[in-house]
Amino acid sequence: MHKEEKKASADKPTFEEGKQYHIECKPNDLQGPVLLPGDPERAKRIAGTWDEFKEIAAHRQYYSFTGKVHGVPISVTSTGIGTPACEIALTELMNIGCDTFIRVGSTGVIQPGVELGDLIINTGAVKMEGSSIHYVPESYPAIAHYEVVLALIEACENLGYTYHVGVAASSSSFYLGQGRPGFNDYKISKTDTIIPDLQKMGVMNIEMEASHIFTLSQIFGGRAGAICAVYANRVTNEFGAFGEEEAIKAANYAVKVLAEMDEERTKLDSKYWFRQK
């Protein structure tokens, strides 16, 4: 292929048939809500729990699969770590027509009474990252869509999982930005106040992507939510990779619930889903 045939707009790097530069997916490649793990290997594990799936693309940290679970369409795209990588994934997913997103990740809890392996469903997020400010002022809220929150709650209830609901803090930093020491135990004065201040505010957990996912979904009329397994307990100072399987199963189940909500909304000819009497 000649170099001229590979060229695209530098402003909008989209290629033949709408194929996106980073995720290498095009319109109609992905069906249903898109689960958003950070880790490409987790994307593979998620797809492996479905009734059927096929790989669509694997480019850089963006691995995408589509298939069916509980009889309804579902997809997954890994986002990599942090909000800059999320911006790319979400923008290109919306470019190809996706509009419903569930972050499936790991998190650190900062409130008492939560165990490693418990699940956290976030209703919103404090923007402690540097990506959202390019889209909205700092005062703009990052809020999960109520339908996704309710679907995740229903999933956890029906599956019998221990879960908690609350506001996250999304940080661009894993170490100092989450109150941890860096290399050689390096800290600055504000490092030690991050966790106590967030605890006083009633923030439930710290992670690295939710606020930007929520913000972009709000701006562009999508639906987004997040469910994370507790890997770090900052109250008891414990760390362990527990709860991933439960978070995946809950997200899968929530996609089924969302499909039911969509069907009910269509029958009611309503813009919003609500419980029928």
Which of 24, 87, 92, 129 is the catalytic position? 92
pLDDT (0 to 100) of residue 258: 98
pLDDT of residue 13: 87
Reported as a single tens digit per residue, the pLDDT across 244-277 is 999 999 999 999 999 999 999 999 999 999 988 7
pLDDT at 1 over 50: no
What is the domain count for the chain? 1
| The pLDDT of residue 226 is above 50 | yes
Average of pLDDT values for 22-40? Answer: 98
Residue with tokens 């009910």: 264
In the set 42, 180, 212, 223, the catalytic residue is 180
Mean pLDDT, residues 104-132: 98
**Rounded-to-integer distance, Cα 120 and Cα 196, Å:** 19
Q: What pLDDT is recorded for position 2?
A: 38
Tell me the three state secondary structure of residue 233.
strand
Q: Is residue 8 part of a domain?
A: no
Identify the band that residue 180 occupies on the pLDDT scale cut at 50, 70 and 90. very high
Task: Say whether 260 is catalytic.
Answer: no
Q: pLDDT at position 206, please?
A: 98
Residue 76 predicted with pLDDT over 70:
yes
Model confidence at 5: pLDDT above 70: no
Look at residue 4 and tell me whether its pLDDT is greater than 70: no
Find the range with the poorest average confidence among 7-21, 91-105, 194-208, 257-271: 7-21
Query: Residue 63: left if φ>0, alpha if ψ -120 to 50, beta else—which one?
Result: beta
Task: Tell me, yes or no, whether 147 lies in a domain.
Answer: yes
Residue 30 domain-assigned (yes or no): yes
Measured between alpha carbons, how far apart are the two ends of the chain, in Å?
Answer: 61
> What's the pTM value of the predicted model, to 2 decimals?
0.95
Mean pLDDT of the chain: 96
Our answer to whether residue 275 is catalytic in this structure is no
| Rounded CA separation 190/196 (Å) | 11
pLDDT for res 277 = 75
The answer as to whether 186 is a domain residue is: yes
Selecting among 87, 234, 244, 246, the annotated active-site residue is 234
The separation between CA 168 and the C-alpha centre of its own chain, rounded to angstroms, equals 12
The domain in which residue 230 lies consists of: 18-268
How do strand 119-128 and strand 100-109 relate by DSSP bridges?
unpaired
**Per DSSP, what are the bridge partners of residue 146?**
none
Is 276 part of any domain?
no
pLDDT exceeds 80 at position 58: yes
Does residue 2 sit within a domain?
Answer: no
**pLDDT tops 80 at residue 237:** yes
Res. 214 pLDDT band, cuts 50 70 90: very high
- Which residue out of 22, 45, 70, 265 is catalytically annotated? 22
Find the mean pLDDT for residues 235-239. 97
| pLDDT over 90 percentage in the chain | 93
Domain assignment of residue 142, yes or no: yes
| 265 has catalytic annotation | no
The verdict on whether 42 is a catalytic residue reads no
What pLDDT band is residue 104 in, cutting at 50, 70 and 90? Answer: very high
Does residue 181 form part of some domain? Answer: yes
Q: In this structure, what CATH number is given to the domain that contains residue 171?
A: 3.40.50.1580
Residue 3's pLDDT is 41
Q: Strands 34-36 and 100-109, how do they pair?
A: parallel
Question: With bands split at pLDDT 50, 70 and 90, how would you rate the model's confidence at 55?
Answer: very high
Please answer whether residues 128 and 176 qualify as being in contact, where contact means their C-beta atoms are separated by less than 8 angstroms.
no
Instruction: Flag whether pLDDT at 72 surpasses 70.
Output: yes
